[in-house]
Amino acid sequence: MRKALLIVLLATYMSLRLNAEDGYRLWLRYDRISNPTLLSAYRSQISSLSIEKNSPTLTAAHDELLTGLEGLLGMKINLHTSIINGTLLIGTPNQSKTVANNVSRTEIEKAGKQGFVIKNALINGKKIILVAANTDIGLLYGSFHFIRLLQTGKPISNLHIISSPLIENRILNHWDNLNRTVERGYAGSSIWDWHRLPGYIDQRYKDYARANASIGINGTVLTNVNANALVLSGMYLEKCAALAATFRPYGIRVYLTARFSAPVELGGLKTADPLDEKVKQWWKDKAAEIYRHIPDFGGFLVKANSEGQPGPQNYGRTHADGANMLADAVAPFGGIVMWRAFVYSNETPDDRFKQAYNEFKPLDGLFRKNVVLQVKNGPIDFQPREPFHPLFGAMKQTPLMMEFQITQEYLGQATHLVFLPVMFKEVLDADTYINGKGSTVAKFIDGSSGNQNLSAMAGVANIGSDRNWTGHPFGQANWYGYGRLAWDHRLSSTDIAEEWIRQTFTNDAGAISTIKNIMLRSHEMLVNYMTPLGLNHIMGNGHHYGPSPWSANLPRADWNPVYYHRADSAGIGFDRTSTGSNALSQYAQTVRTKWENIASCPEEYLLWFHHVSWNHKMKSGRTLWEELCYKYNEGVDSIQSVQRQWKQLSSRIDKQRFAEVAMLLGIQVEEATWWRDACLSYFQTFSRQPIPRGVGEPRHSLDYYKSLRFPYAPGN
């Protein structure tokens, strides 16, 4: 009896362990739908699946649908080739006469190469649902979208969905090194186990591909932009080929970072001059070798002449010379070159804000057709809030792609909850006024404004070996939201948040309302307790962890926080108007006029563009100093209120993830308070004014905050 009881207890324990909500499944959770009315409705409309498994991609779609439907509906799904009531039919017009007869030419043309159509149809009195596309990958995307409808509780009795991506190349940039460290990584080591590749294919690689395909991501750069030439060697190309083969059924192409000096380091040449014929031939031969290993290789991502990386300027050549050499090497195979515009020089005394524009604007029209410039969302470096980069819209004859940072290098790393699609949307929807009102950043990226022959978006990945992939459970929402916006930047951050909550946590209306409120507030909350009113780049040196606005000892002026805030007894902020660095001259006249006038400049950008008196009257009626204090304090109050809101969810979501987030919110409250106290203590030495009543007094002295050291902070 005792032995039997132990067996039962052990079985129960193992069952709980196996079904623990540890976050590994991401948003691909296919547990049985708990709403009995909804479950009954779905079961009455779906009973069988019809799909031909005549390609690896359609096999992937079949497996995903079968797993998803049987899990969500809690019933056996029959496989039929004939049409019966409740059939879910997946196919192209060429594969299926039913699809050809029930999906119009207009509908299927709107779907394009990667999109899909989902609609209800009545065939000989039988009610069915069609998922149609022009290509197998379109069918896979449509299959994932249909599963999402069920996961999020959407009605499926009157469907007419046509969806195609607005941006062609939707890419994750992994800043992963060959030794499995991750630059700016906060979720463990790299998921690429280079030592065991190509022979050992971890299940995580397939699950990574599934997750990306489910949100429409179709490319991955495997290695760090601070590149290692070794990845281009034959041994590592075999490893990359094994990953590419795993990803291929899910429509994901592999890209690699190209170290510009590789012809010297790998090829034994004496130069890497892009105009040298031997160098050109080396890259052509290397490209041919890569394509022998990876026939659908996407191309190269290049960081050159930036932060010590080698590049064409080492040889007196331009960025266009370097990019075009590589573009010519991959062009015969259909590859592209993504050339990063993140460049600034210690030898150039001009405002760092201006340097990328000054470097690339004169090169407009000089790049090959298969080159796209990869531009960060703002002109400095992934700060909590930046004005949109002035290059967007300025390059009339050169495709530009967006580079977002999903990993939270400057946004609390993996201990702070911040929903980044709110920030992404802020940038994408920003109006450049280059072609008049409505010339948004998004329209220049997707090609609907300007002369774009390539459209692309990149996100620096926040993925690591942690069981839940992203360190913070809510980091998954940023990966998810990036993919959804790369597919369709018109989606609202509110809708994306709700989708993710429903798939990841629960369909409980009360819990959704609370979590969504937290997510949508989180970005402004973080900006307030870190860098309010346009402050930026005031974090710790090197690791970028925590506040350090006093830092001034790094060898480059523009690596030091004091370079950016310029606090003195008169005020604070960087004058970028015509009386200062004149960075505003790089924007269209409408934007320039609005931001150059201190009265009309949005207060969230105020200190980006103006050196402002401590006693300047703000819209609230408070002085700048008082407003700065209140903003910092508001940020702390807000995260404390989030902590209280989260506690209300203890009975509405799983215990494991509830506890994880609760602990991380505790850290976030402490660190938000640290940011407020340290920054106000420091800036008070310049304002020489008291901290207003109602704002928390610093808990420690300024010397204490200055003394803190973090030699082993992650991601450095």
Active site residues: 307, 381, 409
Residue 562: both structure tokens together = 């004091």
Residue 423: both structure tokens together = 């920030």
3-state secondary structure 263-298: HHHCCCCCCCCCCCHHHHHHHHHHHHHHHHHCCCCC
CB 691 within 8 A of CB 670: no
C-alpha to C-alpha distances, 110 to 114, 164, 536, 701, nearest whole angstrom: 10, 7, 43, 62
**Nearest to 50, CA basis, from 6, 109, 91, 11:** 91
Reported in sequence order, the residue ranges of 217-267 that DSSP labels E, i.e. its strands, are 219-221, 253-257
**Nearest to 192, CA basis, from 210, 406, 462, 201:** 201
Q: Rounded distance, CA 525 to CA 56, Å?
A: 45
CB contact set of 708 (below 8 Å; sequence gap of 6+): 546
Q: Is 517 exposed, middle or buried (0-12, 13-18, 19+ CB in 10 A)?
A: middle
Phi, psi (5° rounding) for residue 245?
-65, -35
CB 364 within 8 A of CB 395: yes
Q: Rounded distance, CA 85 to CA 97, Å?
A: 17
Q: Rounded distance, CA 472 to CA 461, Å?
A: 13
Biggest CA–CA distance in the chain, Å, is 87
Number of other residues whose CB lies within 10 A of the CB of residue 254 = 23
Q: Rounded distance, CA 507 to CA 247, Å?
A: 31
**Nearest to 260, CA basis, from 296, 234, 290, 286:** 286
Triad 251, 255, 198: Cα angle to 5°: 80
Triad 551, 555, 559: Cα angle to 5°: 55
The DSSP call for residue 26 is T
CB contact set of 714 (below 8 Å; sequence gap of 6+): 185, 186, 413, 414, 543
The torsion of the CA quartet 57, 63, 65, 69, rounded to 10 degrees, works out to 180
Distance between alpha carbon 177 and the CA centroid of its chain, in Å? 19
C-alpha to C-alpha distances, 515 to 291, 462, 491, 658, nearest whole angstrom: 46, 21, 19, 12
Phi, psi (5° rounding) for residue 402?
-80, 140
